[in-house]
């Protein structure tokens, strides 16, 4: 007889594991501490449309999540759009989508630009990540890109994302980001304007639809934090997707708003200023259009912060003030009065720190307990694609053992 499984956590990882287990005949109950399912991929409503609480897109190379979207009957909702990137540095926004933009970028000398371009190509084609494991991203970049390019491009990104951990992060982590992203290009099935350009996938109606579809097949109990000892008495097997104790995590904060005002022609804006309270400005509707959002523009101001950061303690209005004051500085035309809806979302466990001694946490951690957490995704970046891949891998392992 197939076993009775408890899953702690209804993120995309836990939900996919539950879905795969039910396909194999297991009985599954998912316990989620929040009122809503979805974890880092959870959604809310803005301008009458579902939207992720943290910005999300997928890449052409994300075969696992694309396969799951197809299997769930949602593939007609997945659309590919041409990406556009801008970089804010030294009080100015620069286009930063490809080689031509890099060549035109006025803040770097020609040698630095050539070195950056070579590094990008090198990492894109070099499939051997192992050699990057033991060196930090900051050391490697400073050495190969040169001091100036490191200070202008990479340091603000690494510091903004990892704060005090910035000089501990392994180059294997950065290798994975560049190596994967480089493969997300428009192909023959896409519109002509996208051919050979970076394209990103987004679902009409939002990625929350994946969570909802997966959940249809599962028994889910939300709003409860369970005691694993009690679950052990009641269930044959337990999959635990909670943060892993000996791993360091960093949190994320996102301010999302809708506005009548368009602030940019770009989708993605890296803010390379260490004084900025946010790391990215995302004009979501510049990727997928504003039709679904009553014709309004949708923005994310997003950042990563340590778990003891004041943003986890202060009133949302203080965060809002800091973010909007800075946005006014970099986009003087920004008019708060044109905002229609706004929300702030905070996640304490948003990204694990991959250091140079990183050891992938074990799957089996007890007689009948298995861990499934994005910290097991390595060296790839912990995106929803790899959450699905890991969940499927764990289910295969459980099925073989039981």
Residues near ligand FAD, by CB under 6 A: 8-14, 31-34, 39-41, 54-58, 225-226, 241-242, 252, 302, 347, 349-350, 374, 382-385, 387
Say if residues 372 and 17 touch (Cβ distance below 8 Å). Answer: yes
Q: For residues 114 and 228, which CB has a smaller minimum distance to ligand FAD in the complex?
A: 228
| Least Cβ distance, residue 385 to ligand FAD (angstroms) | 6
Residues forming beta bridges with residue 344, ordered by sequence position: 255
| Least Cβ distance, residue 229 to ligand FAD (angstroms) | 13
Q: For residues 32 and 198, which CB has a smaller minimum distance to ligand FAD in the complex?
A: 32
User: DSSP code of 374?
Assistant: G
| Least Cβ distance, residue 178 to ligand FAD (angstroms) | 15
Q: For residues 105 and 386, which CB has a smaller minimum distance to ligand FAD in the complex?
A: 386
| Least Cβ distance, residue 305 to ligand FAD (angstroms) | 11
Say if residues 350 and 363 touch (Cβ distance below 8 Å). Answer: no
| Least Cβ distance, residue 382 to ligand FAD (angstroms) | 4
The candidate with the shortest Cα–Cα distance to 111, out of 70, 148, 57, 64, is: 148
Q: For residues 56 and 179, which CB has a smaller minimum distance to ligand FAD in the complex?
A: 56
| Least Cβ distance, residue 374 to ligand FAD (angstroms) | 4
The candidate with the shortest Cα–Cα distance to 105, out of 114, 117, 95, is: 95
C-alpha separations of 396 from 15, 18, 61, 111, 321 in Å = 15, 12, 23, 50, 48
C-alpha separations of 87 from 157, 269, 295, 328 in Å = 11, 5, 26, 17
Burial class (CB in 10 A: 0-12, 13-18, 19+), 173: buried
Q: For residues 156 and 383, which CB has a smaller minimum distance to ligand FAD in the complex?
A: 383
Token code pair at residue 385: 């694609």
Burial class (CB in 10 A: 0-12, 13-18, 19+), 186: buried
What is the DSSP track for 289-339? Answer: -SGGGTT-EEEEEEEEE-TTSGGGTS-HHHHHHHHHHHHHHHSTT--GGGE
| Least Cβ distance, residue 225 to ligand FAD (angstroms) | 4
User: DSSP code of 161?
Assistant: H
Q: For residues 102 and 350, which CB has a smaller minimum distance to ligand FAD in the complex?
A: 350
| Least Cβ distance, residue 98 to ligand FAD (angstroms) | 20
Say if residues 193 and 176 touch (Cβ distance below 8 Å). Answer: no
Q: For residues 108 and 394, which CB has a smaller minimum distance to ligand FAD in the complex?
A: 394
| Least Cβ distance, residue 326 to ligand FAD (angstroms) | 18
| Least Cβ distance, residue 342 to ligand FAD (angstroms) | 17
Q: For residues 3 and 242, which CB has a smaller minimum distance to ligand FAD in the complex?
A: 242
Say if residues 198 and 81 touch (Cβ distance below 8 Å). Answer: no
Query: Residue 139's CB: how many other CB atoms inside 10 A?
Result: 13
| Look-up of token digits 């259009």 | 289
Q: For residues 39 and 208, which CB has a smaller minimum distance to ligand FAD in the complex?
A: 39
- One-letter-per-residue 3-state SS of 241-296: CCCCCCCCEEEEEEEEEEECCCCCCCCEEEECCCCCCCCEEEECHHHHCCHHHCCC
Q: For residues 140 and 165, which CB has a smaller minimum distance to ligand FAD in the complex?
A: 165
């Amino acid at each position: 007889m197939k076993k009775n499984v408890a899953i702690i956590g209804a993120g995309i990882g836990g939900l996919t594991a539950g879905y795969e287990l039910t396909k194999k005949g297991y009985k599954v109950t998912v316990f989620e501490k929040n009122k809503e399912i979805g974890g880092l991929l959870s959604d809310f409503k803005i301008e009458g449309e579902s939207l992720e609480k943290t910005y999300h897109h997928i890449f052409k190379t994300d075969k696992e999540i694309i396969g799951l979207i197809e299997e769930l009957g949602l593939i007609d909702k997945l659309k590919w759009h041409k990406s556009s990137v801008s970089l804010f540095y030294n009080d100015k926004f620069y286009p930063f989508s490809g080689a031509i933009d890099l060549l035109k970028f006025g803040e770097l000398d020609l040698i630095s630009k050539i070195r950056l371009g070579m590094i990008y190509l090198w990492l894109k084609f070099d499939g051997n990540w192992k050699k990057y494991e033991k060196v930090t991203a900051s050391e490697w970049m400073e050495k190969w890109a040169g001091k100036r390019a490191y200070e202008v491009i990479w340091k603000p990104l690494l510091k903004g994302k990892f704060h005090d951990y910035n000089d501990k992060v392994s180059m294997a982590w950065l290798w994975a980001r560049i190596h994967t992203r480089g493969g997300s290009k428009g192909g023959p099935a896409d519109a002509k304007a996208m051919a050979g350009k970076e394209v990103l996938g987004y679902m009409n109606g939002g990625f929350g639809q994946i969570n909802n579809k997966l959940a249809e097949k599962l028994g889910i109990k939300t709003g409860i934090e369970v005691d694993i000892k009690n679950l052990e008495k009641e269930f044959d097997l337990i999959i635990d997707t909670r943060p892993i104790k000996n791993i360091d995590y960093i949190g994320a904060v996102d301010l999302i708003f809708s506005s009548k005002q368009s602030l940019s022609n770009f989708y993605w804006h890296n803010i390379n200023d260490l004084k900025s309270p946010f790391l990215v400005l995302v004009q979501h509707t510049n990727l997928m259009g504003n039709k679904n959002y009553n014709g309004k523009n949708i923005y994310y101001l997003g950042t990563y912060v340590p778990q003891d950061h004041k943003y986890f303690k202060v009133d949302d209005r203080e965060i809002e003030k800091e973010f909007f004051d800075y946005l006014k500085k970099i986009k003087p035309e920004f008019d708060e009065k044109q905002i229609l809806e706004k929300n702030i979302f905070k996640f304490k466990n948003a990204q694990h720190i991959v250091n140079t001694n990183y050891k992938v946490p074990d799957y089996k951690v007890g007689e009948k307990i298995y861990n499934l957490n994005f910290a097991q995704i390595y060296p790839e970046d912990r995106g929803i694609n790899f959450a699905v891949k890991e969940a499927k891998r764990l289910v295969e392992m459980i099925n073989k053992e039981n």
